[in-house]
Amino acid sequence: MKKIEAVIRPTKLEELKKVLNDMGVRGLTVYNVMGRGLQQEIKHYYRGQEVSIDLFAKVKVEIICPDHWQESIVNGIIATCQTGAIGDGKIFIYPVEEVIRISTGESGNAAL
Amino acid sequence: MKKIEAVIRPTKLEELKKVLNDMGVRGLTVYNVMGRGLQQEIKHYYRGQEVSIDLFAKVKVEIICPDHWQESIVNGIIATCQTGAIGDGKIFIYPVEEVIRISTGESGNAAL
Amino acid sequence: MKKIEAVIRPTKLEELKKVLNDMGVRGLTVYNVMGRGLQQEIKHYYRGQEVSIDLFAKVKVEIICPDHWQESIVNGIIATCQTGAIGDGKIFIYPVEEVIRISTGESGNAAL
Amino acid sequence: MRPLFIAVGWAVLFILLIPEAALAAAEPAALDTGNTAFILICSALVMLMTPGLAMFYGGMVRSKNVLSILMQCLAVMALVSVQWVLLGYTLSFGPDHSLLIGGLDFLGLKGVGMEPLAGSAGIPQAAFAGFQLMFAMITAALISGAVAERMRFSAFVVFTILWTTLVYDPLAHWVWGGGWMARLGIMDFAGGTVVHISSGVSGLVAALVLGKRLGKDQETIRPHHLPMTMLGAGLLWFGWFGFNAGSALAADGVAAQAFLVTNLCAAAGIFSWVGAEWLHHGKPTLFGAASGAIAGLVCITPAAGFVSPMAAVIMGFLVGPICYLAVSKVKDQFGYDDSLDAFGIHGIGGTLGALLTGVFASRSVNPAGFDGLLAGNPEQFMLQVLGVVATYLFAGLVTYLILTVIGRFTELRVTAAEEEFGLDQSLHGEDAYVDTDLSGISQAS
Amino acid sequence: MRPLFIAVGWAVLFILLIPEAALAAAEPAALDTGNTAFILICSALVMLMTPGLAMFYGGMVRSKNVLSILMQCLAVMALVSVQWVLLGYTLSFGPDHSLLIGGLDFLGLKGVGMEPLAGSAGIPQAAFAGFQLMFAMITAALISGAVAERMRFSAFVVFTILWTTLVYDPLAHWVWGGGWMARLGIMDFAGGTVVHISSGVSGLVAALVLGKRLGKDQETIRPHHLPMTMLGAGLLWFGWFGFNAGSALAADGVAAQAFLVTNLCAAAGIFSWVGAEWLHHGKPTLFGAASGAIAGLVCITPAAGFVSPMAAVIMGFLVGPICYLAVSKVKDQFGYDDSLDAFGIHGIGGTLGALLTGVFASRSVNPAGFDGLLAGNPEQFMLQVLGVVATYLFAGLVTYLILTVIGRFTELRVTAAEEEFGLDQSLHGEDAYVDTDLSGISQAS
Amino acid sequence: MRPLFIAVGWAVLFILLIPEAALAAAEPAALDTGNTAFILICSALVMLMTPGLAMFYGGMVRSKNVLSILMQCLAVMALVSVQWVLLGYTLSFGPDHSLLIGGLDFLGLKGVGMEPLAGSAGIPQAAFAGFQLMFAMITAALISGAVAERMRFSAFVVFTILWTTLVYDPLAHWVWGGGWMARLGIMDFAGGTVVHISSGVSGLVAALVLGKRLGKDQETIRPHHLPMTMLGAGLLWFGWFGFNAGSALAADGVAAQAFLVTNLCAAAGIFSWVGAEWLHHGKPTLFGAASGAIAGLVCITPAAGFVSPMAAVIMGFLVGPICYLAVSKVKDQFGYDDSLDAFGIHGIGGTLGALLTGVFASRSVNPAGFDGLLAGNPEQFMLQVLGVVATYLFAGLVTYLILTVIGRFTELRVTAAEEEFGLDQSLHGEDAYVDTDLSGISQAS
Ligand SMILES: Nc1ncnc2c1ncn2[C@@H]1O[C@H](COP(=O)(O)OP(=O)(O)O)[C@@H](O)[C@H]1O
Ligand SMILES: Nc1ncnc2c1ncn2[C@@H]1O[C@H](COP(=O)(O)OP(=O)(O)O)[C@@H](O)[C@H]1O
Ligand SMILES: Nc1ncnc2c1ncn2[C@@H]1O[C@H](COP(=O)(O)OP(=O)(O)O)[C@@H](O)[C@H]1O
């Protein structure tokens, strides 16, 4: 099993949820995060005093899936969240050793 | 070492903390997350306009532990957080390569 | 590639960002989390009724980097965030299988 | 307790014997713009207390239940306003029947118009009706604090209508509408018994009937938003000037005195509550300071027009520790779950205030009032005790009956699943706070 | 529609024929401290409505746009205050010209000072000018609800200045400054047409000109902070007493009546809105209750000094479901994006109120008023229809022209990127909420 | 600076020579309900300013310190209220001694009751005492902005008691209680010197004594909740009407004028502050607009009853950029850490206002006032300068002494660890916001 983490623009979440749902991927977990990458920092002013903002609000979507779904999910994320501009975000993929559903105790792919 | 992630109902956190503590597991990190799984979506109405809610507030508890604790911790989580209804959540297990305690610089199991 | 997770004191984030930036590490993702470790619990009173607080606000910084950066980043974190007192936090290291930049579709180290 | 019951018995007998004297028909007063301006603005201030209470209470509950509290407050505003016009005003202030209840002459506010109220300081009767309405409103709203986080909304709606009709209206008549308490000379300047004891005791009974919140025994439930509670306390304090000074029903020296002592007792209440907790567990808290201010305001309410500034300071110094004890220790010992301490602050603080009115009242402050214990008139103190006991019994009993009857027809309490989920979601289908700019996210679990 | 247009045509003709009669020069009144106190405090209450509206609206938008709403409200306060002193007051209340506009005699508030206003109940003219200013303020602020989350701030600034000068000032003159509506006897006690219809209709036009918010079609946009909206509703309700009762311009029986019915109609509005949604989708909501209260307050505004309490209850029972229908169904069908329902609540509620004033008004309530339909005077109802239609046409048309002209010189709407990013960031360079104790973190995406 | 010092020297000498004239015993006035209503309600409005300030300030600090700010404001309300009754009122308004301080005749408010104050417009002395109390309250609370996020609570408590007794009470006596400033004819309608300069300068001194907040040099500390700040600004603006118009001590033409110019200067302050920052860094901010409104309100305070609307607009246009400069540039250059700009806005704005009062005051506006520079009376301007300088010296010096003395007995500042942790946790043991429905979670690090 794999864990696919996608750090995306918050405004893309709604659409991504729909796309994944249509692909048959229902399970996912969402985090509010702040991130820095290549995106240019901006200046704010509070009573005229400068603050340099270099962390931006992002949403992280985490999907644990069987190995063979990896590719299509990644493609789905790219297709949905790509605007081509800096700040679109990144996808990270990790190995998962085990999954257990708490309600039933099932484990492995059956638990997904 | 392993990382055990449990996405659970927020109302179960307090009890889970106690159970883990009694098992001698003190270290843990908690996230406020929103998740979708098999749980049925619900409808809200704002000035009569329908909103479909399919992400629910969950709490994610993350425990990094030596390999041999994995089983008892997983069992502890299931015992505490299982109601048998959809929405109880899931447990994910990942490999961990290294742990370092910042205050002392210790690493490996000693750092846990 | 590796994922370096550091759970630190919130007040150290600003400095850590600068240190990492100076090391040439720009990409990072930040989470607001709550954590328990060896840190002593404290008591609060609301209208005279005791509450025992054992989860403390922490910030988690996550950096995905090429394998050979791991050591210098870990050292940078320790150098910046160590006060020597309990509660300084921990660093966890995980294997990463793949990284993809959404805006371009690039993958691997090139995507970092 | 025994002597008290006997006293009550005698009093009841005594009252039944009072001939139903016609109040000397007062001369129609000429309109006074200053007094009218004062009462109208004071009415607005008192109205603001209910949204203020919504904030005060709203900050104290968990975030999953905050809308349910606000909703109860708004519902009370709607229900009591309409009930008052149709029935409440006339029950409270209609011509007296047997010293027990007002007659139906003002049904639907018939004849309550622009003309100055007879015997008043030149205030249109419509203004008086509006002013009194705001009192009925806040009183019913106070109860929501005792049943917070677990009562079903529909049951609460029915309860509010019945309670305001069967408990508040008669009490208001007894004390301010020419009923038996007024006749006996029991003093309640702005509502220590009518407003605070009645709502506090009724809240306690309701909390007992409903039972504890889930998880209450395992953990202390913490306020989710203390700045909201602070804001509410500020608005309440502000509105309380309308409540207490306005109860002079004229912009005169009594109003000015009432204003001054109201502020003082709130201040001294902060002082003494924070002092008590500082001694007890080592830290002064904002939540304690806000609670102490409200406790002080409650305590001075029955006394406002009757006592001197120094008496107000003493009353404030007493009410803090006593209410603190009630909410931090006594509640636990008796084991009831008065969620937001409606009884602990309004019941206890109101009781203390009503009794201390009988101690500190002085005609040297307000010649139209009575002397209390310290001015050499122990009878007044006994009368105050009688007023308190009667209000406890009446409010407690009738509340219990109302809840029992409603309980026959419908559930009073939400299900365990609804309670876990939070009342905002399960009863109202709303989220208080939505973090991101996205729909489809809920705080529900 | 046709007969209406003909009626309007006739009316216009008719008005043009009225000889420009000099108002009988009223005797200089002596200062009345009660009335002056009342108007000054009522002015303060009405002023508080704009920050209250900022909270009411602010809670309804997404968190990335909350500051932009607050900023618009503060900007309106600044702009309209200065405009009023320089020009607005004299256009509205200067000596009448052709029943259309006030003369420039009071430019820069020249001569508007401490002396009682001629013909008033002993109120300094400066107090009258201040009171009326607060109305101009809140009216312009109401429009921000229709254009929320997408209008450029600089365009909004220019729009506000032009709108208040070209739409509000003439309307205020027509109705309250001795213009043609006043002359014809169209009744508007506290601003059903001048304030609510005018802002609601102008908001609708602006929403149409600007187009929908991005993503509006895909998803329902949810309020980010309902307790803030509730607080705003509470402050609005409080301020509304100053608005409606203060419009009696004296602390008298009419003010008292206006006060009472204001509260009642708000209460009944909660009742009926919540009832409608409870029937419709099964749950009573806090957002619905707050909306119903405001709808009720809007509806009673033109009628406040003219109708009885029971009429107010009926008006409140009608306005809830009608506004609910407007915002939940009609808006979708017509497909405009009136972000926070400025038209749906103020436009529709104000229209209903203006018409029902012509139904329920009665000289038995206020001898200085007129009789309405139910008191056997159908002409008054037709006059009210005329007033409504004229306000729709005038406000709608002039707003459209203003926006068209501004649109020639500058963009009215932010770019798509700015809108995604949120207006707080892109227009104002600020974050409303900063979570941690760290700088360098932003909600921007 | 030199000539100023000499001027001060002369003035002091001159004052010492004034024979202690007995004020002509004024006739006891009859109670006026309009004026009494006005002052009582204005007192309530001014009271609301302190909770309003708590919100204004509370939104500006980091979330880990918000309760500590609210707590300081509530503590001030408690401490000053009690101090005022016991001692403060009589020091300020007791019979004059040597033009320096009031006598102890009204200790414990003895004899301050329902009877109209001699020489007043028919206001009970209790009302006057209550009104003045609210001024003492907000003044002491203002200082908390300068020491925010680092002062120990217990030191703050002691400081407040000493400061209000040793700085505020004498100043109030000098200006409003018949002291030397009043005798010389220095004008301060509602508290430019007494309230704003005194608190601003004292705040500056306290900020210097305490030193900078940790991390202040590395990063700009941002407001954690700007809507809270906006709400606070709205409540302050509202309350300020009571502050300034109420200072007429009657509901008359002067009050109406004061009301109008108060609103105008706030509006113009928004205008000019936002304009300045828009030019400076390209964006208009909500925080700037709110700050500009408060700066405008501060500036008009000493002038309110004395200047024309157009003068108020000019004053507002000046105060925005000047205060903006003070907080964005001057503060950095001098390197003090006035956390929430108590000096930058109240000190600077109050100074400007006090001086401009000497420029724009005109007897054509208020015959009971004086003429200023523009009306051909440069002496008045010099008097204003004298008043400002004297207040700076007095408030600054005594504050420094008080802090030095307290510092001998206890730490003024929290430890570095407590500061990092946040004052809410370390001083009060509370969390402002609790996210989930769980106990056992804290924001502490
Ligand atoms: N090396 C990294 N480690 C952790 N998170 C990263 C890393 N690089 C990027 N991110 C996350 O991805 C987000 C988007 O990255 P950014 O560089 O702005 O976009 P893009 O890759 O499209 O140019 C960042 O805000 C951050 O949260
Ligand atoms: N495949 C998945 N990937 C990531 N998170 C998941 C996945 N499946 C479930 N989750 C998380 O677990 C939570 C509980 O899942 P749900 O299906 O509702 O419960 P259950 O598994 O008990 O039926 C979800 O809200 C989501 O946060
Ligand atoms: N075993 C663990 N699993 C997950 N998170 C942990 C674990 N141990 C510590 N943490 C996280 O690290 C934080 C700091 O740990 P703590 O023990 O308080 O500090 P230190 O290790 O410096 O003594 C905790 O608050 C928690 O978030």
Residue F289 and residue F280: Cα distance in Å, rounded? 14
Q: Does F445 touch chain B (CB under 8 A)?
A: no
F187 within a domain of the structure (yes/no): yes
* SS3 of residue F332 by DSSP: helix
Structural tokens at position C94: 């995980």
| E22 domain-assigned | no
CB contact under 8 A, E74 and F293: yes
Chain D residue numbers with beta carbons less than 8 Å from the beta carbon of A13 are: 436, 438
pLDDT at res. F7: 54
Nearest partner of B14 among B103, B80, B67, judged by Cα:
B80
CB C62 less than 6 A from any atom of ligand 3: no
How much is the pLDDT for B112? 86
With an 8 Å Cβ cutoff, is C21 touching chain E? Answer: no
| pLDDT of F9 | 53
User: D214: which DSSP letter?
Assistant: T
Whole-angstrom distance, CA of residue E362 vs CA of residue E369: 7
Element (H, E) at C42: strand C42-46
Q: What is the predicted pLDDT for the residue at F54?
A: 98
pLDDT reading at E56 higher than 50: yes
On whether the CB atoms of residues E121 and E185 are closer than 8 A, the answer is no
Q: Is the CB of B103 under 6 A from ligand 3?
A: yes
What are the tokens at B18? 């106690």
Q: Looking at chain D, which residue has its C-alpha nearest residue B45?
A: D429
Instruction: Give chain D's mean pLDDT.
Output: 92
pLDDT, position B40: 85
Residue C11, min C-alpha distance to chain E (Å): 7
| Residue whose C-alpha is closest to residue D92's, from D245, D204, D194 | D194
Would you give the DSSP letter of residue D192? I
**How many distinct structural domains can be found in chain A?**
1
Touching F: which chains, 3+ CB pairs < 8 A? A, B, C, D, E
| Amino acid residing at B66 | P
Cβ of residue C51 closer than 8 Å to a chain D Cβ: yes
**A100-104, E78-82, E385-389, F24-28 — which is least confidently predicted?**
F24-28
Query: Residue E214's closest chain D neighbor by CA?
Result: D437
E223 contacts chain B (CB < 8 A): yes
- In sequence order, the 6+-apart residues with CB closer than 8 A to the CB of D120 are D29, D35, D128, D249, D250
* Tens digit of each residue's pLDDT (9 = 90 or more) over E309-320: 999 999 999 999
pLDDT in the model for residue D217: 83
Q: Which residues share a beta bridge with A35? A: A56, C29
pLDDT surpassing 90 at residue D19: no
* ipTM at complex level: 0.95
Share of chain E above pLDDT 90, in %: 87
**Coil/strand/helix, residue C7:** strand
Hey, are the CB atoms on D48 and E252 less than 8 Å from each other?
no
How much of chain F is helix, strand and coil, in % rounded to 5? 70, 0, 30
Our CA-based measurement puts residue F215 at a distance from the nearest CA of chain A, in whole angstroms, of: 14
- Which CATH number characterizes residue B81's domain? 3.30.70.120
pLDDT at F88: 98
CA distances for D223 relative to D55, D91, D230, D292, D328, angstroms? 12, 38, 11, 16, 15
Model confidence over D406-435: pLDDT tens digits? 999 999 999 999 999 899 999 999 999 987
Counting as low any pLDDT under 70, the low residues of chain B are none
Q: Which of ligand 3's atoms lies nearest the C-alpha of C34?
A: 27
Answer whether C32 touches E (CB < 8 Å): yes
Of C46, C48, C51, the CB nearest to D280: C48
Amino acid at site F283: K
Mean pLDDT, range D13-39, rounded to an integer: 66
Q: State the closest ligand 1 atom to the C-alpha of A37, by its place in the atom list counted from 1.
A: 17
* pLDDT of A5: 97
**Total of domains in chain E:** 1
F306 and F365 in contact (C-beta within 8 Å)?
yes
CB atoms within 10 A of CB F364: 10
pLDDT score recorded for residue E358: 97
Would the pLDDT of A104 be above 90?
yes
Residue with tokens 């004498």: F170
Out of B43, B48, B51, the one facing E222 most closely (by C-beta) is B51
Whether B36 lines ligand 2, by a CB cut-off of 6 Å, is: yes
The conformation of residue E115, written as its DSSP 8-state character, comes to: S
Say how far apart CA C71 and CA C93 lie, in whole Å. Answer: 11
Rounded alpha-carbon distances, angstroms, from residue D114 to E239, E257, F38, F97: 22, 7, 22, 51
Q: Is D279 on the interface with C (CB under 8 A)?
A: no
Phi, psi for residue E292 in degrees, rounded to 5: -65, -40
* Contact call for D440 and B87, based on CB within 8 A: no
Give the model's pLDDT for residue F260: 97
Substitution target from E39, E216, E263 for chain D, most D beta carbons within 10 A:
E263
Confirm whether D386 is domain-assigned.
yes
Best mutation site among B13, B29, B32 for ligand 3, i.e. most ligand atoms within 8 A of its Cβ? B29
Q: Which residues of chain B have a CB within 8 Å of the CB of F443?
A: none
pLDDT at B29: 96
Residue D393 lies in a domain: yes
pLDDT tens column, D213-233: 998 888 889 999 999 999 999
What residues contact residue E275 under an 8 Å CB cut-off, 6+ apart? E320, E321
What pLDDT does residue D248 have? 97
* pLDDT score for F357: 97
pLDDT digits (tens, 9 = 90+) for E188-202: 999 999 999 999 999
Residue A64 is predicted with a pLDDT of: 97
What pLDDT score was predicted for residue B38? Answer: 86
Give the confidence band of A62 by pLDDT, cuts at 50, 70, 90.
very high
Give contacts of F264 with chain E, Cβ < 8 Å. 81-82, 85
| Pocket residue to mutate for ligand 3, from C7, C41, C81, most atoms within 8 A of Cβ | C7
In percent, how much of chain D has pLDDT > 70? 91
What is the model's pLDDT at position D89? 98
pLDDT value for A112: 86
Position F23 scores a pLDDT of 42
Domain around B54: 2-111
Q: Which residues of chain F have pLDDT under 50?
A: 1-2, 13, 16-25, 437-445
Ligand 2 pocket test, pick from A16, A28, A31 with the greatest ligand atom count within 8 Å of Cβ, gives A28
CB–CB contact B92 A103 (8 Å):
no
Residue A61, helix vs strand vs coil: strand
Are the CB atoms for F242 and F43 separated by under 8 Å? yes
Q: Is the CB of C5 under 6 A from ligand 3?
A: no
Could you tell me how many CB contacts below 8 A there are between chain A and chain D?
A: 17
What is the C-alpha to C-alpha distance for residues F252 and C98, in angstroms, rounded to an integer? 78
CATH number of the domain to which D151 belongs: 1.10.3430.10
Taking contacts as CB-CB distances below 8 angstroms, the residues of chain B near C81 are: 102
| Nearest chain F alpha carbon to D432 | F435
For the record, the structure tokens of B23 come out as: 């098992």
Chain B residues touching residue A101 (CB < 8 angstroms) = 88, 90
- For residue B30, the ligand 3 atom closest to its alpha carbon is 27
Rounded average pLDDT over E218-247: 96
**Which residues from chain B sit within 8 angstroms of residue D431, using beta carbons?**
44
Which domain, by its residues, includes D52? 33-414
Q: Does D441 touch chain A (CB under 8 A)?
A: yes
Among the partner-chain residues F219, F283, F329, the one whose CB lies closest to the CB of A45 is F283
Interchain proximity E439–C14, CB inside 8 Å: yes
Q: Where are the alpha helices (DSSP H) in chain A?
A: 13-22, 70-81
Q: What is the DSSP letter of B29?
A: E
**Residue for token digits 């109401």?**
E142
Does the beta carbon of A101 sit less than 6 angstroms from any atom of ligand 2?
yes
Q: Which chains touch E (3 or more CB pairs under 8 A)?
A: A, B, C, D, F
Is residue C80 a contact partner of residue C12, using CB atoms and an 8 Å limit?
yes
B99 → closest Cβ in C33, C92, C95 = C92
CA atoms of E79 and E72, how far apart (whole Å): 10
Residue F428 domain-assigned (yes or no): no
Phi, psi values for residue D240, rounded to 5°: -65, -25
CB A57 near ligand 1, within 6 Å: no
Select the residue from C32, C47, C50 to test the D interface by mutation, using most D Cβ atoms within 10 A: C47
For ligand 1, say whether the CB of C64 is within 6 Å of any of its atoms. Answer: yes
